[in-house]
């Protein structure tokens, strides 16, 4: 189990870090004079949040939320449950909601609605990866790390049944990995 289970590397560690720097610089420009609160969705977004915020040259705060819709399968169940909510008061805050990947768009769609009920100044979204062709609700992210094809990927926070999150690159697993799980 681990690196040997990957059949193809889609994004290298270097490509990812270069893109994080670019996004950090863009956000630094866009959020001048604002009250930035970065909210990451655990667990997958932790890798993006920690790398990205080091490249944002502004005062900011970080919170995390736990929301789930996936379980152990590679398909979404369509319902989003919140297990851990943000403690900070959102009034006057410019929220940047971060996830590892936007797929159907159901997770972002649901959580943006919930955050807006708490009257922040603004809510924008950032997805490390975007599988645009999988979208069911037309959701569009404000910031995207990489547009990727419709393939199940792991690494840099993204898991398969809880494993592979710590791979520093984005890869596609060998089909033998899924066969074993059955
Ligand atoms: P959405 O609600 O369908 O947009 O799905 C977002 C969530 O699905 C992400 O936070 C991931 O946990 C999970 N997900 C979607 N595609 C992948 C993938 O290729 N690898 C790992 N997790 C994925
Ligand atoms: Mg997730």
Residue among 42, 97, 101 to mutate when testing ligand 1 (max atoms within 8 A of CB): 101
Which is higher by pLDDT, 112 or 182?
112
Give ion ligand 2 contacts, CB < 5 A: 44
Which residues are the active-site residues? 103
Q: Which is the closest atom of ligand 1 to the Cα of 69?
A: 2
pLDDT digits (tens, 9 = 90+) for 30-83: 999 999 999 999 999 999 999 999 999 999 999 999 987 754 455 555 577 787
Ligand 2 centroid to residue 157 C-alpha, Å:
9
Residue among 158, 169, 170 to mutate when testing ligand 1 (max atoms within 8 A of CB): 158
End-to-end alpha carbon distance in the chain: 16
- Using DSSP bridges, classify how beta strands 94-102 and 36-42 pair: parallel, antiparallel or unpaired: parallel
C-alpha closest to that of 80 among 92, 66, 90, 94: 66
* Long-range interactions of 81-88: CB distance < 8 A, separation 24+: 82/111, 82/114, 84/42, 86/39, 86/115, 86/118, 87/63, 88/37, 88/61, 88/63
DSSP the chain: --GGGEEEEEE-HHHHHHHHHHHHHHHHHHTTTS-EEEEEEETTTHHHHHHHHHT--S--EEEEEEEES-TTSSS--S--EEEE---S--BT-EEEEEEEEESSSHHHHHHHHHHHTT-BSEEEEEEEEE-GGG-SS----SEEEEE--SS-EEBTTB-BTTB-TT-SSEEEE-HHHHHHH-
- State pTM to two decimals: 0.93
pLDDT digits (tens, 9 = 90+) for 52-66: 999 999 999 999 999
Pocket of ligand 1 (CB under 6 A): 44, 69-70, 76, 99-107, 152-153, 158-159
CB atoms within 10 A of CB 72: 9
The ligand that comes nearest to the alpha carbon of residue 66 is 2
C-alpha torsion angle, residues 71, 111, 16, 9 (rounded to 10): 30
Ligand 1 centroid to residue 103 C-alpha, Å:
6
pLDDT of residue 72: 46
Q: Which is the closest atom of ligand 1 to the Cα of 104?
A: 3
Query: How many angstroms separate the CA atoms of 146 and 135, rounded?
Result: 15
Q: Which is the closest atom of ligand 1 to the Cα of 102?
A: 4
């Amino acid at each position: 189990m681990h690196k040997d289970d990957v059949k193809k590397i889609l994004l290298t560690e270097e490509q990812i870090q270069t893109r994080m720097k670019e996004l950090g610089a863009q956000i630094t420009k866009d959020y001048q004079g604002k009250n930035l609160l970065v909210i990451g969705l655990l667990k997958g977004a932790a890798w993006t949040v920690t790398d990205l915020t080091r490249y944002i040259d502004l005062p900011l705060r970080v919170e995390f939320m736990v929301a789930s819709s996936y379980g152990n399968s590679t398909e979404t169940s369509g319902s989003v449950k919140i297990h851990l909510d943000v403690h900070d008061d959102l009034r006057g805050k410019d929220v940047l909601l971060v996830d590892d990947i936007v797929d159907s768009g159901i997770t972002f769609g649901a959580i943006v609605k919930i955050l807006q009920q708490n009257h922040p100044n603004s809510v924008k979204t950032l997805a490390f990866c975007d599988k645009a062709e999988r979208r069911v609700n037309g959701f569009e992210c404000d910031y995207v790390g990489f547009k990727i094809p419709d393939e199940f990927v792991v690494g840099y926070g993204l898991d398969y049944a809880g494993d592979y999150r710590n791979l520093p690159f984005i890869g596609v697993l060998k089909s033998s990995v899924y066969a074993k799980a059955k």
